Amino acid sequence: MKKFIQRFYLILILILLYSPIVTLIVLSFNNSKTRAKWGGFTVKWYASLFQNQDIMNALYTTLIIAFASAFLATIIGTAAAIGIQAMRKSVRTPIMAVTNIPMLNADIVTGISLMLLFVAIRFSLGFTTILFAHITFNIPYVILSVMPKLKQTNKATYEAALDLGASPIYAFFKVVFPDIFPGISSGFLLAFTMSLDDFIITHFTKGPGVDTLSTKIYGEVRKGIKPEMYALSTLLFVSVLLLLFVVNLSPSDKENKKVVKHRKQKQFIFRRLVPALLLLVLIGGGIFYGRSSNLTGKEQVIVYNWGEYMDPEVLDLFEEETGIQVVYEEFETNEIMYPKIQSGAIAYDVVCPSDYMIQRMIENNLLAELNYDNIPNAKNIGETYFIQSKQFDPENNFSIPYCWGTVGILYNKTMVEEPIDSWSVLWDEQYKDNILMQDSVRDAFGVTLKYLGYSLNSTDLDELEAAKKLLIEQKPLVQAYVIDQVRDKMIGNEAALGVIYSGEAIYTQWENENLEYVIPKEGSNVWIDSWVIPKNSKNKENAEAFINFLCRADIAKMNFDYITYSTPNDAARDLIEDEALKNSPIAFPPKEDLERCETFSFLGDENDALYNRLWREVKSN
Amino acid sequence: MANKLIDIVNISKSFGDNLVLDNLNLYIRQNEFLTLLGPSGCGKTTLLRILGGFESADHGEIIFEGKNINSLAPNKRKLNTVFQKYALFTHMTIAENIAFGLKIKGKTSSYISDKIKYALKLVNLDGFENRMPDSLSGGQQQRVAIARAIVNEPKVLLLDEPLGALDLKLRQDMQYELIRLKNELGITFVYVTHDQEEALTMSDTIVVMNQGYIQQIGTPEDIYNEPQNAFVADFIGESNILSALMVEDKLVKILGVDFPCVDIGFGKNRPVDAVIRPEDVELVTPDKGILQGIVSHLIFKGVHYEMEVEANNFTWLVHSTDMFPVGTNVGIYVDPYNIQIMKKPKTEDAEAVGVEE
């Protein structure tokens, strides 16, 4: 009975530890794309994994960084350990404590502080910074594993070597090194796995276009987990497992001391063969993937854009036509993008912020003036949009509109009494629990301020208090405060009304023909996302070429088809074949509607805080 | 002296506040087997390490063949060391260990393999070339360490308690082996040990050290028979050390009883120390003894009996091939030649040096 309980407990623990990994491995062989269903055994995810250039690039980068950082950290760490060992004990103990602290330090602190350091010394983030960061956090692990071996080493053997005529360096490599080699090699392998494993520090110190497997997986997962990721994670797990086996089998050759020949063979395998094979794989991978990798130093342009905000084919076309290589990075919100540009850690060449953020960037002197001579296709952009842009870029010196849209009400024709033409419906008792509001402070207040007849950039406390009061009154009527789900809920007939962006509205109409969009008569928000070039861009001409390319009618049309947000490109609009879409009042509202609309302005940090405080009061009331 | 090989002049060394060697002077002759003997912490190993170049002296000079070698690196000195813990290179074969120094000197491989054969034969380890150090016994490892040192044909071989880790039988065998080696090779040995028997067996000259000072230098016979102070007498062999009064030349008062002796020149009625070796105490019938006592303790030691005799409030240690049971009344007689008279330490400092152990 006791034995049974012991076994049961052991099995329970093993299940707890390994069931997640087993699940992952099983799913990586699942033929069905959904997690819920077993669609038969397949290795196709593995096949498609190896055909995915991006992932293989990331794998190669990961291996190079792991290998190089482990190698350099091993040299530096071993030298440090020898130095520390030679110190007096009263000095050695505190020094050891100091070298141990970075290991206990939270990764996120290490990551952020490394990033800050790189930024402070004007070192632009990229492959090198990841490498430096990894070397930095690997050194303590090497010291930790070399130190005990050094302590065990009989100091007399080193002295004996000197005594026999060896120079100190010769004595070290001939006598001390073989003694501490197990410590050095386990330090190397530890550093190697630590580097492979790291996500957080890499995330903070990496530059655009450089990805290790972990940051690549993170980036992919944000967009939805693909089965290839299961396959990749499985391979990673298996590799680490193999590495562990190698560590445990490597020269612990106590039993084989007497059999010299066998020992020599083993030595040969671990000292020569394994490193040679590793090197071969690295060099081979380098040649194979290096051609497309951005490490090769040809002409490039670093693009920083919203997620899902460009047809990937456009990038391929641009590379083909110009020979300029695109390094493409994505952000989720203006607020995430801004500090990255401000810190100057990464020299982006072309960025796509929204109106109010462009204003803020201009005010903070972060943008470079555009040279319109290099952007002849700017003529395709409608005059109206340049005029609208003057609200945030008074001279049109810094930005060229890319996408725009309005905020309005999406309603289900079968569920409301038409006509809907005013924000007042959002306060109409008969639509109780049928109203969807945007869960974002500026949108919610903007709508309310407009309803009250004020500017949506109001900073007048009385106006804002009035808006707050109205929003609190509205709360019982609202079904949900959401962002992306407005689209899906409206398509699914789950609500009658919702505040939505016009770009989304077009898509919902394709899915549900009962939906209609209106810009209320009180006016609304018009937003514009435009291309700008940061001041610290290193490839300004390439950036202008890129913007020019995006302004080409056929390219703008491709992007419009892909993202369905209104294009300011009149020439592109002319290319739209579907007359209904071309003249859609949603995508291209009449001029008089637009004249009632305002763009958001950057109100300053203090007012931002005020808005946020009022919004909290609304939400918590 | 013409054949001074190493001259150690005014050497002082301290670690922190701890003075280990204090203004020490010593010379080592060509072809000599010199032993530094003393309790642990007496500075003998430090002196050896200064000779080897692993420590540097705070003051003083090391003169080797007439040249100051104070700042010469260990790998440039014409002497080799056999370390206490052998310090074999565990990842190399025996042959590789022995060849280590020769390879550095750039000798040809045929010369090296000849030397390996010769050295292994010399230390009775023929055929051990391809073994690994860990597979050898302690004595074998020690002999490899010696072989590794001597193939380099050093002028001087420094040995730091090389037999300390071996068992008694092996230690005795190795002692003879070392003497034989020294005679065959004709090189100077500087040997460090705390084992007085080892020192007496092997040495041409013994240097007795305590607390950084040399207590006595001499041949084994000198040291044993004529200890110059109580420390040496106590450290070398076993002895009865007694406070005594030198009444006049050739007469000493021990425990209130007059003993004839042969020492002269100590003055009259001067306090001295008298040393009498236990084997020199002769037990006779009470009436024939200078002193009378009772046997209080008896142990059989193989070669002799060890007895303790209570006489005049002193416990005499006696070695004798004759056995007297406990409780026997005996007389104690000492031949005048076997009483060694020593000066009492004059200052308190010197006393501390002498009486510590």
Closest CB to A157: pick one of B89, B130, B152: B89
Interfacial residues of A (vs B; Cβ cutoff 8 Å) = 154, 156-157, 159-168, 170-171, 174-175, 178-179, 257-258, 260
Interchain proximity A160–B73, CB inside 8 Å: no
Q: Residue A305: name the closest of A366, A352, A355 by CA.
A: A352
Residue A256: band (very low, low, confident or very high) from pLDDT cuts 50, 70, 90: very low
- Determine the distance in angstroms separating the CA of A166 from the nearest CA of chain B, rounded to an integer: 6
Averaged pLDDT, B303-319: 91
Q: Which of B:41-80 have CB within 8 Å of A?
A: 52-54, 73-76, 80
Task: Tell me the fold of A53-290.
Answer: MetI-like fold (1.10.3720)
pLDDT on residue A139 = 94
Average pLDDT over residues A34-54: 80
Measure in Å the smallest separation between the Cα of A184 and chain B Cα atoms. Answer: 16
Encoded tokens for B122: 């010399």
Do B132 and A179 lie within an 8 Å CB cutoff?
Answer: no
pLDDT at res. A269? 63
Contact A157, B97 (CB under 8 A): no
Distance from CA of A92 to the nearest CA of B (A): 17
Which residue of B89, B96, B155, B160 is the best one to mutate when testing the A interface, meaning the one whose CB has the most A CBs within 10 A? Answer: B89
Stretch B14-34: mean pLDDT, rounded? 89
The minimum CA-CA distance between B169 and chain A, rounded to whole Å, is: 26
Select the residue of A165, A257, A258 nearest B104 (Cβ to Cβ).
A165
CB-CB under 8 Å, B90 with A179: yes
* Nearest-neighbour CA in chain B from A238: distance (Å): 33
Residue of B nearest to A251 (CA): B91
End-to-end CA distance of chain A: 59
Q: What's the rounded Cα separation, in Å, for the pair A72 and A74?
A: 5
Distance from CA of A153 to the nearest CA of B (A): 10
Q: Does residue B91 belong to the interface with chain A, where contact is any CB pair within 8 Å?
A: yes
| Amino acid of residue A570 | D
Residue A298 pLDDT exceeds 80: no
Summarised one tens digit per residue, pLDDT across range A62-110 is 888 998 999 999 999 999 999 998 888 888 889 988 988 888 888 899 9
- CA–CA dist A115, A121 (Å, integer): 10
Q: Which residue, A523, A549, A519, is CA-closest to A420?
A: A519
Q: How confident is the model at residue A222 (pLDDT cuts 50, 70, 90)?
A: low
How confident is the model over B228-254, as pLDDT tens digits? 888 888 888 888 888 899 998 889 999
Nearest to B101 among A165, A168, A260 (CB): A165
- Predicted local distance difference test score (pLDDT) of residue A266: 63
Does residue A70 contact residue A192 with C-beta atoms inside 8 Å? yes
* Domain coordinates in residue numbering, chain B: 4-225, 230-355
Encoded tokens for A409: 């009400």
Q: What pLDDT is attached to residue A608?
A: 86
Residue of chain A whose Cα is closest to the Cα of B147: A164
CB–CB of B149 and A258 under 8 A? no
Same fold, A53-290 and A404-527+604-620: no
State whether CATH 3.40.50.700 applies to domain A404-527+604-620. Answer: no
Residue B88 with chain A: CB contacts under 8 Å: 157, 160
User: Cβ contacts (< 8 Å) between B149 and chain A: which residues?
Assistant: 163-164
Of A416 and A34, more confident: A416
- Helix runs in chain B, H state only: 44-52, 94-104, 109-122, 138-150, 168-185, 196-202, 220-225, 230-235, 348-355
Contact across the interface for A157 and B87, Cβ inside 8 Å: yes
- What residues does each domain of chain A span? 2-42, 53-290, 300-402+529-579, 404-527+604-620
> Please, which pLDDT band fits residue A13 given cuts at 50, 70 and 90?
very high
> For residues A215 and A199, is the Cβ–Cβ distance under 8 A?
yes
| Four-residue CA torsion sign, B39, B41, B43, B44 | positive
Question: In A393-473, at which residue ranges do the beta strands (DSSP E only) sit?
Answer: 400-412, 435-438
Give buried/exposed letters for B51-66 (b at 16+ CB in 10 A, else e). bbbbbebeebebbbee
Using a pLDDT cut of 90, give the percent of chain A over it: 37
Rounded CA-CA distance A466/B355 in Å is: 101
Task: Kindly state the percentage of chain B with pLDDT values over 70.
Answer: 96
Of A161, A163, A178, the CB nearest to B52: A163
| Cβ atoms of residues B325 and B309 within 8 Å | no
Sign of CA dihedral A239, A241, A247, A249: negative
Over 80: is that where the pLDDT of B206 sits?
Answer: yes
| SS3 label, residue B60 | strand
Residue-level pLDDT at A451: 93
Q: How far is A260 from chain B (nearest CA, A)?
A: 7
A156·B88 Cβ contact <8 A: no
Tokens read off for A247: 């560590």
Give residue B178's pLDDT band: very low, low, confident or very high (50, 70, 90): confident
A12 or B349: which leads in pLDDT: A12
Tell the CATH superfamily of the B230-355 domain: Nucleic acid-binding proteins (2.40.50.140)
Residue among A154, A170, A257 minimizing CB distance to B132: A257
End-to-end CA distance of chain B: 34
Residue range B151-171: mean pLDDT, rounded: 85
Q: B112 CA to chain A: closest CA distance, Å?
A: 14
Where residue B356 falls among pLDDT bands split at 50, 70, 90? very low
Q: Which of B91, B100, B130 sits opposite A164 (nearest CB)?
A: B100
Sign of CA dihedral A352, A299, A120, A80: positive
Tell me whether B343 touches chain A (CB under 8 Å).
no
Once rounded to an integer, what is the mean pLDDT over residues A503-516?
A: 87
Give the amino acid at B139.
G
Between A253 and A195, where is the model more confident? A195
Best B49, B75, B97 residue to mutate vs chain A (most A CBs within 10 Å): B75
Which CATH entry fits the domain spanning B4-225: 3.40.640.10, 3.40.50.300, 3.30.1330.10, 1.20.58.100?
3.40.50.300
Contact present, B65 and B7 (Cβ < 8 Å)? no
CATH architecture of A300-402+529-579: 3-Layer(aba) Sandwich (3.40)
Please determine, for residue A281, whether its predicted confidence score (pLDDT) is greater than 90. no
Give the Å distances, CA to CA, from A543 to A253, A275, B350. Answer: 59, 43, 90
Query: Contact at 8 Å (CB) between B44 and B164?
Result: no
Buried/exposed code over B221-253 (b: 16+ C-beta within 10 A; e: otherwise):
eebbbbbbbbbbbbbbbebbbbebbbeeeeebb
CA dist., res. B132 & res. A258, Å (int) = 6
User: B181 at the A interface (CB within 8 A)?
Assistant: no
- As a whole number, mean pLDDT of residues A385-412 equals 92
Which residue, chain included where needed, has tokens 């005010």? A363
Q: Which of B54, B75, B91 sits opposite A165 (nearest CB)?
A: B75
Q: Does B288 touch chain A (CB under 8 A)?
A: no
Partners of A257 on chain B (C-beta within 8 Å) are 132, 134-135
**Alpha carbon A553 to its chain's center:** 30
Interface test with B, best of A152, A154, A164, A267 (most B CBs within 10 A): A164
